[in-house]
Amino acid sequence: MVLSKVGIVAFMILFNVDSVFNNVMSSHIDKMKSEWDSDVFLDSFGLLTKYGYAPERISVTTEDGYVIDTFHIPRSGPPVLLVHGITDSSDEWLVLGPNRSLAYQLADAGLDVWLYNSRGNRYSREHRDNIPKKEYWNFTYEEMGTQDLPAVIDHILNVTSQEKLSYIGFSQGTTIFFVMCSMKPDYNTKIEVSILLAPVAWIAHLKLPTIGIVSRNLELLSSITEALGLYELYPFKISNVIKSLSCLRLYPTNVCYIDFYINYGLVHSDYLSPDKIAVIGSHIPAGTSNLNFQHFIQNYSSKRFQRFDYGSKKNLKVYSSKQPPLYNVELVTAPVSIIASEIDWYSTNDDVQKLKSKLPNIKRFIALNSSLEFSHLEFVYGTRVQKIVNERVINILLDDLNMR
Ligand SMILES: *[C@@H]1O[C@H](CO)[C@@H](O)[C@H](O)[C@H]1NC(C)=O
Ligand SMILES: *[C@@H]1O[C@H](CO)[C@@H](O)[C@H](O)[C@H]1NC(C)=O
Ligand SMILES: *[C@@H]1O[C@H](CO)[C@@H](O)[C@H](O)[C@H]1NC(C)=O
Ligand SMILES: *[C@@H]1O[C@H](CO)[C@@H](O)[C@H](O)[C@H]1NC(C)=O
Ligand SMILES: CC(=O)N[C@H]1CO[C@H](CO)[C@@H](O)[C@@H]1O
């Protein structure tokens, strides 16, 4: 118990060590630039431009004033919105390049592609009213689902003069879809097709090895971060690049893979596109709020898919009930196609089965056999992503949108 608290404090201090490291190392960046895959240094706009996709960067302001940046690859076909996972960004759909990343391939298939960035990540950092930090970072995935997505979807439908769009979400990108469709059920009618990769709603069976310690110490953890004014978790930093480069150097005895084994349940290093590992590493993490992380962990302890838990006293004030209300996924009437892997640590079989039993409109349910050893991050960063994920996604879209 004491040890784990010491560990958490040490962890918090590392945040600052990391920023010193960051400042020292950034002066060496230019020197290193010429030596490596230049994709390491490119953001979504840079990657799309390099590969000839002429993107636009478009900002949309939500009702509560957050400025959400999307990247748009204009095409004449129907619109499709791609929604990334936690502490990630639109880069997720791009970093493996046109041969393996979905965004380019959907544009090649003629779809009008939009890439979302959640509030607080490396791209969506502004607020209309320039509110103080403490107020700015006061959000979880609930606001992404009830504010960000509706604003972005309305903008897309408006500029494309369409009534519906298609939605592709990965991990947290599925959580916020469930939040939107259950809390703002009108939006179900704006979804033509949805494809949900590694869906996350209930996480009672999460297999992360550190989850026990973290969830038992959640209150302590939140009071420390609060006291230190650390409202942002795992921000995108230039030191991501340095870390990822050091990774490549040590290949094949690669320490950077340890993170992927311990935190994501990766089975073989070869499964995580080894030729692009430095590019992947330099683009994640991309930042979120501490509160968002807390919200996910609360639901682990409670075994409920529910709104943020402020403690019974404040819950009474905010929700008029001691327990936070549940997200009612039975209201998610939009058609969904799900691809889930049986060995996923985050989107576990037990939790996905529960979700499956409650969703009213599942068009397809594709379970990736455990013998494939297909782990969470492989849905977007995997060596085998083309056959196992991308081809299926594109086929579903072409079928359901009658584009053949
Ligand atoms: C994509 O694959 C093709 C054929 O395998 C190869 O010629 C091309 O260089 C690849 N493109 C990129 C950007 O890696
Ligand atoms: C954060 O949001 C909650 C719920 O809307 C509110 O009660 C609280 O006062 C907010 N805190 C800050 C610092 O804005
Ligand atoms: C839709 O677009 C029109 C003009 O392009 C604009 O005036 C209007 O405010 C937009 N509505 C929304 C909801 O974005
Ligand atoms: C799934 O993999 C197991 C081996 O791990 C195999 O026995 C089983 O037949 C497979 N199931 C399907 C449906 O392919
Ligand atoms: C942090 C945490 O565990 N919060 C709550 C999770 O849900 C249970 C049951 O609803 C509560 O008792 C916890 O306080």
pTM of this structure: 0.88
CA distance 26 to 38: 16
Q: Within 10 A of 155 (CB to CB), how many other CB atoms are there?
A: 18
Are 353 and 383 a contacting pair, CB within 8 Å? no
pLDDT of residue 1: 39
pLDDT of residue 16: 47
CATH tag for 5-305+334-400 (out of 3.40.50.1820, 2.130.10.30, 3.40.190.10, 3.40.630.30): 3.40.50.1820
pLDDT of residue 2: 42
pLDDT of residue 227: 83
pLDDT of residue 17: 47
CA distance 260 to 208: 11
Counting other chains too, the contacts that 305-311 makes at CB distance below 8 Å and 24 or more residues apart are 305/178, 305/201, 305/202, 305/329, 307/142, 308/140, 308/142
> What tens-digit pLDDT sequence spans the chain (404 residues)?
344 544 554 444 444 445 545 544 555 555 455 556 788 889 999 999 999 999 999 999 999 999 999 999 999 999 999 999 998 999 999 999 999 999 999 999 999 999 999 999 999 999 999 999 999 999 999 999 999 999 999 999 999 999 999 999 999 999 999 999 999 999 999 999 999 999 999 988 888 888 888 888 888 888 888 888 888 887 887 777 776 766 665 444 466 677 778 778 888 888 988 888 888 888 888 888 989 988 988 878 788 999 999 999 999 999 999 999 999 999 999 999 999 999 999 999 999 999 999 999 999 999 999 999 999 999 999 999 999 999 999 999 999 999 98
Q: Is 72 assigned a catalytic role?
A: no
Ligand 2 cavity residues, CB under 6 Å: 134-135, 138, 318
Q: Is 171 assigned a catalytic role?
A: yes
Which member of 84, 155, 295, 376 is catalytic?
376
Ligand in nearest proximity to the CA of 99? 1
Domain ranges of the chain: 5-305+334-400
Ligand in nearest proximity to the CA of 291? 2
183 Cβ closer than 6 Å to some ligand 5 atom = no
Closest-lying ligand 4 atom to the alpha carbon of residue 369: 1
Which member of 171, 182, 194, 341 is catalytic?
171
**Chain CA centroid to CA 304, Å:** 20
- What's the gap in Å between 49 CA and the centre of ligand 3? 28
Return the percent helix, strand and coil in the chain, to nearest 5: 50, 15, 35
Residue located nearest, by CA, to atom 4 of ligand 4: 371
CA distance 211 to 225: 18
Residues β-bridged to residue 160: none
Closest-lying ligand 3 atom to the alpha carbon of residue 158: 1
pLDDT of residue 248: 60
Residues 6+ apart with CB under 8 A from 136: 120, 127, 231
